[in-house]
Amino acid sequence: MGDLILEEGETLRGCKLAYRTHGKLNAARDNAVLVTTWFSGTGKVMEDVYVGPGRALDPAKYFIVIVDQIGSGLSSSPHNTPGAQSMARFPRVRIGDDVQAQRRLLKDAFGITELALVFGGSMGGQQVYEWAVRYPDQVKRAAVVAATARNTFHDFMFTETLIEALTSDPHWNKGWYERGEDVRDGLNRMAGIFAVMGWSTEFYEKKRWQSLLGMSSERDFINGVMRAYFAPMDANNLLCMAWKWQRGDVSRHTAGDLAKALGRITARCCVMPISHDMFFPPRDCEAEQRLIPRSAFRVIEAVEGHMALNGFDPAYTAQVDKHLRELLDFPA
């Protein structure tokens, strides 16, 4: 999509956005749905877990565009950018940059200037909030799972522990490793921290790693799920996203006034925290929801905590679908 001037000042040259679409844009161009992606995920998991015939996001009804966030590995990222902005030289990217890029993509590629819905979870939810605050006239509905509009300091510190897990690995070498897998100690440490914060105490107590994920033991789960999940990832990509995640904050547009920023939202919103989420707890999400004029607060019950987002449990996706339908069926 050409150059993207970033909030931090640098220009991301020859910016590429990876996206996938489902369904067809209607003549009125009013059935477009944007789906965003989270930390460590790509559009693939969003497609698999949230989109399909008979689902709330049904390609028979909506034109669904899933866009990978910058740094996620498919869109422009440290590991796939050549030359002067490669690896450790990749510029700092903010949530707002993703939203700018997505907006340009939707307009240039499809002529879309209004979205029936923007939907995302976790860092994807940060992008949804940014959209709704910044372009209220272009977003008719917004739905967020397990995210906040302004990242909390607690969450900032959590992300900091993930960053330190990677950067403390000598093989990371300030971003100049030969191969991604060289940073395996750091990635393993990150997987360990995510094992603590990504699920919940109840998930382990109920042995959901067995009943839900089919692992034979806790150790089997740590190695076969948590470590295996992060092992193929690129450290610089993760660090790019982590830095962005830490600084997600819609009140940047209102000089730090969160109530004012969220008060700007005209979209109908559905705020869906996950009951057992350890870093985006329902309490934090509810405090924000109260500041959004036309919004509903719907807690998703899932002992999987934050990781429930991955849709392992049909009971989770059924809840999300129900709330999305409620939002979509109601005239915006």
Residues marked as catalytic: 122, 277, 306
The minimum distance between CB 18 and a second copy, in angstroms, equals 32
Question: Which amino acid, one-letter code, is at 253?
Answer: H
In the shown chain, the binding pattern of residues 176 to 195 toward a second copy, with x for contact by CB under 8 A and - for none, equals ---------x---x--xx-x
The minimum distance between CB 279 and a second copy, in angstroms, equals 7
The minimum distance between CB 247 and a second copy, in angstroms, equals 14
The minimum distance between CB 188 and a second copy, in angstroms, equals 8
Nearer to a second copy, 26 or 216 (CB): 216
Nearer to a second copy, 19 or 209 (CB): 209
Size of the site for a second copy (CB under 8 A): 35
In the shown chain, the binding pattern of residues 209 to 238 toward a second copy, with x for contact by CB under 8 A and - for none, equals ---------x---x----------------
Residues 101, 122, 159: CA angle, nearest 5 degrees: 100
The minimum distance between CB 190 and a second copy, in angstroms, equals 10
The minimum distance between CB 230 and a second copy, in angstroms, equals 14
Nearer to a second copy, 106 or 258 (CB): 258
For residues 122 and 309, is the Cβ–Cβ distance under 8 A?
A: yes
Bridge-based pairing state of the strands 117-121 and 32-35: parallel
Among 61-69, 132-140, 149-157, 309-317, the segment contacting a second copy (CB under 8 A): 149-157
The minimum distance between CB 72 and a second copy, in angstroms, equals 24
Q: How far apart are CA 107 and CA 25, in angstroms?
A: 13
Contact status: 256 vs a second copy (CB under 8 A)? no
Alpha-carbon dihedral sign for residues 184, 219, 190, 169: negative
Among 205, 314, 329, 331, the residue binding a second copy under the rule CB under 8 A is 205
Residue 301 makes CB contacts below 8 A (sequence gap 6+) with 275, 315, 319
Among 58, 97, 169, 288, the residue binding a second copy under the rule CB under 8 A is 169
Contact status: 158 vs a second copy (CB under 8 A)? yes
Question: Which amino acid, one-letter code, is at 293?
Answer: P
Contact status: 202 vs a second copy (CB under 8 A)? yes
Please state, in angstroms and as integers, the Cα–Cα distance from residue 230 to each residue in 107, 275, 277, following that order.
34, 25, 20
Angle separating helix axes 235-246 and 153-167, nearest 10 degrees: 160
3-class DSSP assignment, residue 91: coil
Q: Which of residues 257-316 bind a second copy (CB under 8 A)?
A: 278-279, 281, 283-284, 287
**Helix, strand, coil percentages for the chain (3-state, nearest 5):** 45, 15, 40
Contact status: 154 vs a second copy (CB under 8 A)? yes
Structure tokens at 176: 């100049």
Residue 198 makes CB contacts below 8 A (sequence gap 6+) with 226, 278, 305, 306, 307
Among 5, 60, 109, 157, the residue binding a second copy under the rule CB under 8 A is 157
Q: How far apart are CA 98 and CA 188, in angstroms?
A: 28
For residues 230 and 194, is the Cβ–Cβ distance under 8 A?
A: yes
For residues 34 and 119, is the Cβ–Cβ distance under 8 A?
A: yes
Contact status: 120 vs a second copy (CB under 8 A)? no
Residues forming contacts to a second copy in the complex (CB under 8 A) are 152-155, 157-158, 160-161, 164-165, 168-170, 185, 189, 192-193, 195-197, 199-205, 218, 222, 278-279, 281, 283-284, 287
